Structure 1
Amino acid sequence: MGASLGRDASFERHRDLIVTVKDRVLGGARTIILPESSLGFWTPTVGRFWVRALRETDAIVIAGAAVIDAGGYDNVLVAISGDGARIVYRERMPVPGSMWQPWRALLGQSGGARAHFFENPVATAAGHRIAPLICYEQLIVWPVLHSMLEDPDLIVAVGNGWWTQGTSIVAIQRASVKAWARLFAKPIVFSFNT
C-alpha cells in the first residue's frame, strides 16, 4: 500500500483493510498480522469499528498503529477480535532522531515517539507468547535479547519500508531477524509494507 498505509485515516481505507482480512479468514487464516502503522491513529472509534467488523469471525488481527496524546506518541501493536481490542505492545526502541527525540522534553516541547526500553519484552496474542519487533528494533541487539530472556513462542517482525524503495534496508531487517530466529530456534512471522 506504499506511502498511504497508515496515512490514509479514512473509514474507506479501514473498510478495505477489513475486506482484505476477511478474505484471508475465508481462506482459513485465524490470525492476521498487519504491518507497522497499518491502522494509522488508534482511537476508540477506530477500535470499535474494527471490533464490530470482526464480530462474526473467530479471527484475531495484530496490527501496527500510533497512539497519540499531548506529550507525543507510542508506536504500538494492537490485537483485535470480535470480543474487543487492546494494545499488546509499545515499541521499546523507536528510530533515534526521526522518531525518538528525548531532547524535546528538555526544551519544553512535546512530540516524538516514546521509548519503552524495559517494558513488554513479550506480548500475549492469539494464544501465543510473541516477541514483537517493530522496524528499527530488528536491527539492534537490546530488544531481541530482552525478548529472548522471556522465552517467547515466536518472533513477530513488522515494518513499514515503503520509503526504502531502491535500498536493501528491508532485506537487511529480514536477514537480521532470520539470524536471531535461527540462533534462538524461534519461528518468525513477517509483515512488511513495501
Structure 2
Amino acid sequence: MSPTIHLAQQPEADELLSRSPLAALIGMLLDQQVPMEWAFSGPYTIAQRMGADDLDAARIAAYDPDAFAELLKEKPAVHRYPGSMAKRVQQLCQYLADEYDGDASTVWRDVETGEELLARLKALPGYGEQKAKIFLALLGKQFGVQPRGWREAAGAYGEKGYRSAADITGPESLAKVREHKQEMKRAAKAAKKA
C-alpha cells in the first residue's frame, strides 16, 4: 500500500510521489534553491510534459538532452535552474537504469541496515550526505522503509520533529518545517557575527 504524501501540496503531484519511487527520488533531487512544493511538483510536471502517467528512468535517461532541458524550461519552469537540473535528472535516471534496471525502489528494497541504505543513497548522482539523510528519513517516516538503524543513519532528520521534507504531512507541518529552517538560518547568522 502506498503512503499519502503531501510534499507538493497538489493532489495530482502528491499522488504521483506516493506511488512512484522514481518521482520521489527526482523530487528530492530537485529540492534545492527552490520552495519545496515547487521541487516536489516537478516530477508530475515532467510526466505530464512527456505525455505519461508515470515516470520511467530508462526513457528519461535516453531522452535527447536538449529536448529534455526544453521540457524543464517550458513555462512554468520545473526549477529555477532548469537546464542544469535537467542534466542532473538524466544522470540520476541513467544511474538507476544502469545499476538498478530502472527500478528506483530497488535502491532501498532488501537493504538490511540504515548505513547500507545511506551508502546507496549517497551513491546516487546529485545526492550528497544531507540530501541522502533527508531522503532516508522520508523513507523511514512516510514510506515505511525502516531497516535496522535507519533513524541513526538519518541523523537528526530521523528524530521526531519538524526539520525537513521527511516531516511534512500537510500544510501545518510544512509551516513548522519552514519555521525551523528560519530559526537555523538566524542561528547560523548570529554565530557568524559572534
TM-score, normalised on structure 1?
0.34
Which protein has the bigger helix share?
A: 2
TM-score, normalised on structure 2?
0.34
